[in-house]
Amino acid sequence: MPLEGYPVSKLPSWPGAEVRVLASPALGANFVQYLIDLPATARGQFPADERIETFSYVLSGRGEHREGGRAKRQVIPGSFAFTPPRTANEFYAPEPMRLMVFQKRYQASPGIALFNAIHGNESDVSGIPWADTDKIKLQTLIPDDFQYDMAMNIFTFTPGFGLPIVETHVMEHGLLFLQGKGVYRLGDEWMEVEKDDFIWMGPYCPQSFYAAGEHPAKYIYYKDVNREIGGL
């Protein structure tokens, strides 16, 4: 889904912001993913909620982020934060800022303590060669540890490289294409994708990717991990 296909929403808690609801339960997703454009001097917040965890990622611009009652933190492109339930997330944009904000219900597991908030910048997370080649790098912004029930990863592919198989798995993805282009296999169709495209992949959606063009292709994606499967 290209960004220009999303009409802009307005949210009471983000006055002045242009919000695109990339994915939601209305689509079939078990999460909500927003793209939020804050104009200069605007602020917005998602209030604390008993059940909801929140991941935020700055796509462009600079500003301030405050989580819960903590001191504010300066954020720049690539800054991310992951906060547990019962934590508010507030942003202030002295200059225009574009954010991706992801929310879902935290899935507790017996014997696993609730995690503490984490934050950082993607530039501080090293890229691990993937599928036996350093032409594909995977950055795991949230550590792969049982405390966390989700992953938010960034893949970067040199053109001419891609996922070596067609994956089919129970986990969902919410994927935002950040840079470059390529072709994405969804089901039995190969589709052209480029910067600013969004893809929701439901459970067991057959998927693969091949990077094309002149520049590295890069995308950030969510994946539900590390929890028993419910629904029985």
Find the binder of Mn ion among 167, 183, 206, 208 (CB under 5 A): 167
Of 104 and 223, CB closest to ligand UGY? 223
- Our finding on whether 156 is near ligand UGY (CB under 6 A) is no
Assigned token pair, 149: 């029930």
Find the binder of ligand UGY among 49, 90, 167, 196 (CB under 6 A): 167
Distance between CA atoms of residues 123 and 130, nearest Å = 18
Q: What is the torsional sign of CA 133, 171, 30, 148?
A: negative
CB of 12 to ligand UGY, least distance (A): 34
Task: Give the chain's radius of gyration (CA, Å).
Answer: 17
Question: For the stretch 95-120, what's the b/e string if a residue is b when 16 or more beta carbons lie within 10 angstroms of its beta carbon?
Answer: eebbbbbbbbebbeeeeeeebeebee
Only one of the segments 50-58, 107-115, 162-170, 181-189 lies at the binding site for Mn ion (rule: CB under 5 A); that segment is 162-170
Contact 172, 222 (CB under 8 A): yes
CB of 21 to ligand UGY, least distance (A): 21
| Residue closest to 122 by CA, chosen among 207, 179, 167 | 179
Q: Which does 155 bind (CB under 5 to 8 A by kind): Mn ion, ligand UGY, none?
A: ligand UGY
Find the binder of ligand UGY among 155, 157, 177, 200 (CB under 6 A): 155
CB of 34 to ligand UGY, least distance (A): 21
Contact 98, 39 (CB under 8 A): no
Residues with Cβ within 8 Å of 5's Cβ and at least 6 positions away in sequence, in order, are: none
In the shown chain, the binding pattern of residues 168 to 197 toward ligand UGY, with x for contact by CB under 6 A and - for none, equals -----x------------------------
CB of 173 to Mn ion, least distance (A): 6
**Bridge partners (DSSP) listed for residue 49:** none
- Our finding on whether 139 is near ligand UGY (CB under 6 A) is no
Distance between CA atoms of residues 18 and 36, nearest Å = 6
What is the contact surface with ligand UGY in residues (CB under 6 A)? Answer: 155, 163, 167, 173, 207, 221, 223
